[in-house]
């Protein structure tokens, strides 16, 4: 196929728009209302898990924006949206999205207001100095709101009853206040005269499409007025892009979907992409460009072409693509030094390498970006990673996980991956836990729940092994045997008396151990313990009645110093009040001679 001639090397390219927002605030649904699709339902948990791209051509923008824009004033070819993942765990991908984007849209649910992910997105936008606007979404959920399908938001706002506008203003200016804490001055976009000084907020409803005309008009206006110089690019230069997805396509084999954000790329060009084991150099065998909304349908999103120029969504067929990492850089080596391109890609891959340690969990994910996101999430909760890789969970992962003796690390976390071969059976045989999910934050919640369960089990086992405090008295006329062992009836005055507990008699400033509890009987049955108020018979190995002990003698459990420390430091709140009293008396008596005993 002959290469397409590029007549004008310096046209205005399509602005790249990055869409950010807290999970469930309607970010993807807002784009759905523009592209007329239902991508939200297709994503796991209705949360966008990967970056996607949508090209909105100028004719659709002109049609949707209506009277807000003049078709004669629109010089840009359209808008290209990067739909970035909505959860806070995708910081790395969001940061890349911010660096690629000319303008960002921050979507905020007007009812929920600022959430942790909203604040995180604002920090990323501020740090990357990416210009942005805010969509105050879900205005149709304000009580009493009378929706006007596909209406301009200022028109919808002005048509509402005064009480509804008042309710809207209260929520709206809460957003304004929140933005001010980040150093941004903001207002309703129709009140903003200089967008370089004041942040415009557009009220929208993804469900009723209210505010969509305003959104498109403002984006076009900002790009043409404030970013004209950056939109004018030399599209004859080497192409630069980012890989968004690696997939198998019938008749083509392994292909990659990418965004080309600079220069141009043609069939037969030599290109370099990031791979699992380092840079991959290959030749473009077939090239496809993403169809604009006006031409695409559910079965055909791409069309074959000879040359693609920035900014565009593209699909590439080439050899050796199976190990390409999603989220990795893509560079055309045509007309450039291949060695320098390889070094450049290798350098970028080094930046996204995940720190691993000698001990920790094993993580698997379907893409490099997802792997980074999962790694960051675990880092945030201080969980070390022993191995991180892209791809399905394999038996070798099980073998590696089984080498650790730490139960909380005998685990493999998999995001959006499958188990291959005999991995599941091997995991059960080697006592390795596998957790998989297609929503990252839910995967983290499952891990935390699992480790909490392990911790609770370990804690209970430790607590059960401790000697509990107890104070008890031999009952009058309840001497059944004097020695070897002595069998007597007792009443528990405080605490919990356990089988095998050491027993002591109180001295003036200490305790003297005299034996241990061999057995406890209650109503003829052997029991492991007795509590305050119980009257039981005990077998007491060591003392003789009439010598060390007598009727009415008060005895104490002789608790080891380490057990006292553990009970006071870790398990005090697990003890009953009477146990705390018994423990306190015992420890105070022991500390008469040594103030630091048990501390």
pLDDT digit string, tens, across residues 363-416:
998 766 677 778 888 888 889 999 988 788 989 999 999 998 888 899 999 988
Question: What would the two tokens of residue 119 be?
Answer: 């604040």
Q: Do 361-461 and 16-231 fall under one CATH topology?
A: yes
Q: What pLDDT score was predicted for residue 281? A: 94
**CATH no., domain 361-461:** 3.40.50.10050
- Among 24-38, 115-129, 573-587, the least confident range: 24-38
d(CA 553, CA 101): 83
In the chain, pLDDT over 70 holds for what percent of residues? 87
Q: What is the arithmetic mean of pLDDT over 312-335?
A: 86
* Angle subtended at Cα 562 by Cα 556 and Cα 566, rounded to the nearest 5 degrees: 95
Parse the chain into domains and list their residue ranges.
Answer: 16-231, 240-351, 361-461, 470-590
Q: What pLDDT score was predicted for residue 512? A: 93
Helix pair angle (58-65, 212-226), 10° resolution? 120
Q: Which class does domain 470-590 fall in?
A: mainly beta
Q: What is the arithmetic mean of pLDDT over 542-552?
A: 93
d(CA 161, CA 142): 12
Q: What is the arithmetic mean of pLDDT over 534-562?
A: 94
Return the higher-pLDDT residue of 174 and 34: 174
- Among 129-133, 208-212, 467-471, 553-557, the least confident range: 129-133
**Is the pTM above the cut of 0.75?**
no
- 427, 449 contact by CB (below 8 A): no
Q: What is the band of 35 on the pLDDT scale with cuts at 50, 70, 90?
A: low
In the chain, pLDDT over 90 holds for what percent of residues? 43
DSSP-assigned states of every residue in 25-45: SSHHHHHHHHHT--HHHHSGG
Strands 411-415 and 433-437 turn out to be: parallel
Q: What pLDDT score was predicted for residue 93? A: 42
H and E: helices and strands count for the chain: 16, 28
Q: Which CATH superfamily is domain 16-231 in?
A: P-loop containing nucleotide triphosphate hydrolases (3.40.50.300)
Average pLDDT value for the chain? 84
- 138, 206 contact by CB (below 8 A): yes
187 SS3 class: strand
Q: Which class does domain 240-351 fall in?
A: mainly beta
pLDDT digit string, tens, across residues 79-109:
888 765 543 333 444 444 445 678 888 989 9
Q: What pLDDT score was predicted for residue 501? A: 95
pLDDT digit string, tens, across residues 576-596:
999 999 999 999 999 998 999
Q: What is the band of 455 on the pLDDT scale with cuts at 50, 70, 90?
A: confident
Q: What pLDDT score was predicted for residue 46? A: 38
């Amino acid at each position: 196929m002959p290469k397409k001639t590029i007549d004008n090397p310096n046209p205005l390219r399509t602005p790249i728009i990055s869409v950010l927002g807290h999970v469930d605030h309607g970010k993807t649904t807002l784009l759905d209302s523009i592209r007329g699709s239902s991508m939200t339902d297709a994503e796991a948990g209705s949360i966008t898990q990967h970056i996607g791209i949508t090209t909105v051509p100028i004719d659709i923008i002109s049609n949707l924006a209506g009277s807000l824009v003049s078709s004669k004033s629109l010089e840009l070819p359209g808008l290209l949206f990067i739909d970035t993942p909505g959860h806070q765990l995708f910081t790395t991908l969001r940061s890349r999205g911010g660096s690629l984007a000319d303008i960002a849209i921050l979507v905020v649910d007007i009812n929920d207001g600022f959430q942790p992910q909203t604040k995180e997105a604002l920090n990323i936008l501020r740090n990357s100095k990416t210009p942005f606007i805010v969509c105050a979404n879900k205005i149709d959920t304000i009580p009493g709101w009378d929706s006007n399908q596909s209406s301009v938001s200022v028109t919808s706002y002005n048509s509402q009853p005064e009480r509804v506008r008042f309710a809207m203003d209260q929520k709206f200016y809460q957003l304004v206040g929140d933005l001010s804490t980040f150093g941004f001055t903001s207002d309703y976009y129709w009140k903003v005269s200089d967008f370089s000084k004041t942040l415009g907020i557009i009220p929208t409803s993804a469900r009723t499409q209210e505010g969509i005309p305003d959104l498109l008009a403002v984006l076009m206006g900002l790009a043409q007025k404030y970013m004209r110089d950056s939109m004018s690019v030399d599209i004859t230069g080497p192409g630069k892009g980012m890989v968004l997805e690696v997939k198998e396509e019938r008749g083509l084999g392994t292909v990659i979907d990418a965004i080309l954000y600079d220069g141009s790329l043609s069939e037969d060009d030599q290109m370099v992409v990031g791979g699992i084991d380092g840079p991959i150099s290959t030749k473009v065998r077939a090239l496809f460009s993403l169809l604009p909304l006006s031409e695409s349908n559910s079965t055909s999103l791409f069309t074959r072409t000879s040359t693609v120029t920035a900014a565009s969504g593209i699909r590439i067929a080439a050899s050796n693509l199976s190990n390409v990492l999603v989220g990795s850089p893509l560079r055309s080596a045509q007309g450039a030094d291949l060695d320098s391109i390889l070094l450049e890609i290798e350098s970028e891959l080094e930046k996204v390498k995940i720190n691993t340690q000698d001990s920790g969990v094993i993580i698997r994910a379907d893409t490099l970006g997802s792997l980074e996101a999962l790694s960051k999430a675990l880092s945030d909760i201080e969980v070390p990673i022993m191995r991180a890789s892209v791809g399905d969970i394999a038996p070798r992962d099980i073998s590696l996980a089984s080498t650790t003796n730490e139960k909380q690390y005998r685990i493999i976390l998999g995001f959006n991956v499958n188990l291959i071969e005999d991995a599941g059976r091997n995991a059960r045989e080697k006592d390795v836990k596998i957790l998989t999910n297609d929503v990252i934050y839910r995967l983290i919640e499952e891990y935390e729940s699992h480790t909490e369960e392990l911790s609770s089990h370990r804690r209970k086992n430790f607590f059960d092994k401790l000697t509990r405090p107890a104070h008890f008295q031999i009952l009058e006329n309840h001497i059944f045997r004097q020695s070897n062992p002595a069998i007597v009836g007792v009443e528990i005055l405080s605490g919990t008396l356990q089988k095998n507990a050491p027993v002591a008699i109180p001295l003036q400033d200490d305790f003297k151990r005299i034996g241990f509890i061999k057995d406890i009987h209650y109503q003829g049955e052997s029991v492991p313990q007795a509590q305050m108020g119980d009257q039981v018979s005990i077998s007491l190995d060591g003392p003789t009645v009439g010598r060390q002990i007598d009727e009415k003698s008060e005895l104490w459990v002789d608790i080891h110093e380490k057990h006292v420390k553990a009970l006071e430091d870790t398990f005090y709140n697990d003890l009953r009040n009477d146990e705390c009293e018994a423990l306190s008396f015992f420890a105070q008596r022991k500390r008469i001679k040594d103030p630091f005993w048990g501390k």
